[in-house]
């Protein structure tokens, strides 16, 4: 000490070394990071739960988004601080892993950061805090698994309840009776469709797509854990349903990209429906008098253009003879007519044409010929849609007119353009050998509602998918958090030294969820959480906050159930981020 203070002037010890000895910088960096991250967490806190508030976000290009979804709020927030960005990414990670609980995960992380700060103030080393928190998180997951109830995928009631719970906290909650069954039916249909085949064969055709960076988690399969039965919860598992049995042993992967949500402004959310077949948001082209309805359709998915070819380079041809001009026009006419005739010859009567950026996908003249040949035309099918469309229709995309043969066509009973409450869509039904996909037509009065409805439906789909990944449910409404918090606090008493402190702090931090649920519902958080704690201490494991009645009740009677995976992954991911933030002690800019 004496040398450190006395020496610098005399011996010229570098300033950096001196700064390091004071240990101020690591602490400052850590605290600044924590404050930034906590600010993000505070921003979404009010959105938690069924009585949570919604956010109105204006994007850089002037669009307005109204949402309650944590991941969406954070994605749109212009967060600059690198530590705060970690919370944004945390929410995205939860979105990929579980799909729901994206607000909870950030709120938990914020609360854990507060707890860590208290521990730092006590003089506990960050590494010890980080390690203890991770151990506590592992214990918390254990406790959660203990109180979970195994669920059978045949038990649609339970799946519905879980989907309903996730929709309850959304803006579109009054439509949960419409959206929840759609979510359950969509996922279970994929499940049953993939059943007869071997798991390996169903996965193989899509293998190239799994190289997508976001996809591994979406595709992730996990052998179902048959968690121990919980005495507290009471999910009924009826025996022997008429559907194909879904065995609990075999891992099944549900890829949400197999479920297509087609959005159309018009009508209300009530009109949202699951379509047996394929829905295209593009309209049929009738300007040239072609048909808009086709029975016994033979459908081709066409990737080439039905318009006159263009040279690679921009060049000008000056024609000063009208006979030459005539010849050029005739040539073009002949070229297109030949193409259309070839199409007709293959037996095709419905043409889906991919959007083209080079030239017109189909020009007026070609449309005229196609109309004469009684071929229904839908153009501007997006490049990204082609794979889904082909898989659903069981068709092969055709990239060249020379390859236009009958074996590449798909067969459907009906292709029809329908108008539903102002929304015009093309529906293809009665598809022969239909692929394992599901189409959902989402409708809404305006684009703000429609987009939120789609996001909410996505959350509900994720919840059902979570149950496929990990077949267990737990009660919601703050019950699991209080249960874990109580057990962790008990466990902390058996520990020694700083770890005991950290475990208690972690336990206390988890109470942020019931506290926030109560706060957002306009209840007294201290009174509610105290009562909740008492009820749990008396052995009521499923006592939760009934936000509707404003009191503590058995939350299972309210049908508030959520997948175990949502809660466990929220705790794990939040702890991981906090540990990471705690271990950062310096901040450098790179050139
Ligand atoms: N009817 C209800 N009564 C009490 N609590 C409920 C009810 N419905 C949901 N909850 C609780 O609300 C919380 C979920 O809130 P919310 O859906 O707003 O956030 P999230 O799922 O974390 O994030 P997001 O849905 O935005 O991805 C869970 O803790 C759940 O148990
Ligand atoms: Mg939710």
pLDDT in tens, 131-173: 999 999 999 999 999 988 888 888 888 889 889 888 888 888 8
List pLDDT tens digits, range 400-409.
888 888 888 8
Pocket test for ligand 1, best of 93, 104, 465, 555 (most atoms within 8 A of CB): 104
For residue 5, pLDDT over 80 is answered with no
Residue 52: CB within 6 Å of ligand 1?
yes
Place of tokens 């579109």: 172
The ligand 1 atom at the shortest distance from the C-alpha of residue 102 is: 27
pLDDT of 22 reads 57
The pTM of this model reads 0.79
CA of 169 to the centre of ligand 1 (A): 5
Distances (CA, A) of 498 to 29, 124, 160, 391: 23, 7, 44, 58
Angle at 394 between CA 391 and CA 398, to 5 degrees: 85
Q: Ligand 1 mean position to 162 CA, how many Å?
A: 11
- Cα gap 4→21, rounded to integer Å: 8
* Res 106: pLDDT: 93
In this structure, which residue's CA is closest to atom 22 in ligand 1? 101
Q: Examine the pLDDT at 436 and tell me if it is beyond 90.
A: no
For ligand 1, whether the C-beta of 100 sits within 6 Å is yes
Examine the pLDDT at 99 and tell me if it is beyond 70. Answer: yes
Residue 194 is given by DSSP the state H
- 554-562 average pLDDT score: 86
- 422: tokens are 């102002």
| pLDDT higher than threshold 60 for residue 7 | no
Q: What average pLDDT does this structure show over 549-575?
A: 89
The whole-number pLDDT of residue 247 equals 41
With residue 66 as reference, give the H or E element that holds it: strand 64-67
Among protein residues, the one with the nearest Cα to ligand 1's atom 5 is 477
pLDDT tens digit sequence for 28-84: 888 888 888 888 888 899 999 888 888 898 888 888 888 888 888 988 888 888 888
> Which stretches does DSSP call E strand in 119-276?
149-150, 259-265, 273-275
Mean pLDDT of the chain, nearest integer: 81
Dihedral angle sign, alpha carbons of residues 478, 479, 480, 481: positive
- 559 C-alpha to center of ligand 2: Å? 15
pLDDT, tens digit (0-9, with 9 covering 90-100), for 326-351: 888 888 889 888 888 888 888 888 88
Mean pLDDT to the nearest integer, 6-14: 42
Please give the residue that has the higher pLDDT: either 227 or 521.
Answer: 521
CB of 456 within 6 A of ligand 1: the answer is: no
Q: What are φ and ψ of residue 443, in 5° steps? A: -125, 160
Model confidence at 559: pLDDT above 80? yes
Nearest atom within ligand 1 for CA of residue 72: 26
% of the chain beyond a pLDDT of 70: 86
pLDDT (0 to 100) of residue 518: 92
Report how far ligand 1's centroid is from the alpha carbon of 88 (Å).
19
The rounded Å distance from CA 463 to ligand 2 centre is 9
Ligand 1 pocket mutation, candidates 67, 172, 462, 517, criterion most atoms within 8 A of CB: 517
The residue whose CA has the least distance to atom 14 of ligand 1 is 49
Report whether pLDDT(394) > 50.
yes
Ligand 1 contact via 49 beta carbon (within 6 Å)? yes
Which structural domains are found in the chain, ordered by start? Answer: 17-150+475-582 (1.10.560.10), 267-309+320-444 (3.50.7.10)
Atom of ligand 1 minimally distant from the CA of 479: 31
Q: Can you tell me which atom of ligand 1 is nearest the CA of 95? A: 27
Half-sphere exposure of residue 529, counting CA atoms within 13 Å on the CB side? 22
Neighbours of 249 (CB within 10 A): 7
Ligand 1 nearest atom to the CA of residue 477, by list position: 5
Strands 423-431 and 410-420: antiparallel
* Distance in angstroms (rounded) separating the CA atoms of residues 494 and 147: 22
């Amino acid at each position: 000490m004496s040398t450190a203070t006395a020496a610098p002037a005399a011996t010229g010890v570098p300033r950096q070394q001196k700064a390091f000895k004071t240990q101020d910088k690591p602490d400052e960096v850590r605290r600044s990071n924590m404050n930034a991250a906590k600010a993000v967490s505070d921003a979404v806190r009010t959105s938690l739960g069924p009585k949570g508030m919604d956010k109105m976000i204006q994007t850089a290009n002037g669009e307005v988004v109204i949402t309650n979804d944590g991941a969406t709020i954070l994605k749109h927030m212009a967060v600059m601080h690198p530590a705060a960005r970690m919370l944004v990414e945390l929410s995205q990670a939860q979105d990929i892993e579980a799909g729901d609980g994206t607000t909870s995960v950030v709120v938990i992380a914020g609360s854990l950061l507060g707890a860590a700060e208290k521990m730092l103030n006590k003089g506990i080393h960050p590494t010890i805090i980080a390690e203890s928190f991770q151990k506590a998180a592992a214990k918390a997951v254990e406790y959660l698994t203990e109180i979970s109830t195994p669920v059978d995928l045949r038990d649609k009631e339970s799946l519905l309840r879980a989907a309903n719970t996730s929709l309850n906290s959304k803006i579109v909650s009054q439509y949960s009776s419409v959206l929840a069954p759609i979510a359950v039916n969509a996922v279970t249909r994929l499940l049953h469709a993939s059943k007869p085949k071997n798991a390996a064969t169903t996965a193989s055709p899509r293998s190239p797509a799994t190289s997508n960076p976001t996809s591994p988690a979406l595709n992730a399969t996990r052998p179902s854990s048959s968690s121990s039965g919980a005495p507290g919860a009471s999910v009924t598992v009826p025996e022997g349903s008429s559907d194909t049995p879904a065995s609990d042993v075999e891992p099944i992967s549900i890829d949400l990209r197999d479920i297509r949500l087609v959005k159309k402004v018009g009508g209300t959310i009530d009109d949202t429906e699951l379509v047996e077949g394929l829905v295209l948001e593009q309209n049929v082209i009738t300007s040239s008098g072609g048909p808009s309805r086709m029975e016994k359709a033979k459908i081709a998915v066409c990737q080439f253009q039905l318009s006159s070819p263009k040279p690679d380079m921009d060049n000008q041809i000056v024609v000063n003879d009208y006979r030459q001009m005539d010849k050029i026009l005739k040539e073009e006419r002949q070229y297109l007519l030949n193409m259309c005739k070839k199409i007709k010859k293959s037996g095709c009567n419905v043409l889906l044409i991919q959007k083209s950026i080079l030239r017109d996908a189909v020009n007026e003249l070609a449309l005229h010929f196609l109309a004469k040949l009684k071929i229904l035309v839908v153009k501007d099918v997006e490049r990204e849609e082609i794979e889904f469309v082909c898989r659903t229709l069981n068709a092969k995309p055709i990239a060249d007119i020379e390859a236009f043969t009958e074996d590449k066509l798909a067969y459907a009973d009906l292709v029809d353009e329908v108008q539903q409450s102002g929304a015009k869509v093309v529906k293809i039904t009665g598809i022969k050998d239909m692929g394992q996909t599901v189409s959902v037509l989402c409708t809404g009065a305006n684009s703000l509602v429609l987009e939120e409805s789609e996001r909410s439906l996505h959350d509900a789909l994720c919840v059902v998918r979570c149950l496929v990944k990990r077949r267990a449910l737990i009660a919601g409404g703050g019950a699991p958090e209080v249960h874990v918090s109580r057990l962790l606090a008990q466990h902390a008493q058996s520990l020694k030294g700083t770890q005991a402190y950290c475990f208690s702090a972690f336990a206390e931090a988890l109470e942020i969820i019931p506290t926030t649920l109560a706060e957002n519902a306009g209840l007294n958080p201290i009174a509610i959480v105290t009562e909740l704690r008492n009820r749990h201490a008396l052995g009521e494991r499923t006592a939760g906050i009934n936000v509707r009645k404003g009191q503590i009740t058995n939350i299972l009677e309210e049908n508030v159930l959520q997948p175990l995976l949502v809660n466990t992954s929220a705790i794990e991911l939040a702890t991981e981020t906090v540990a990471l933030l705690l271990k950062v002690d310096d901040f450098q800019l790179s050139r």
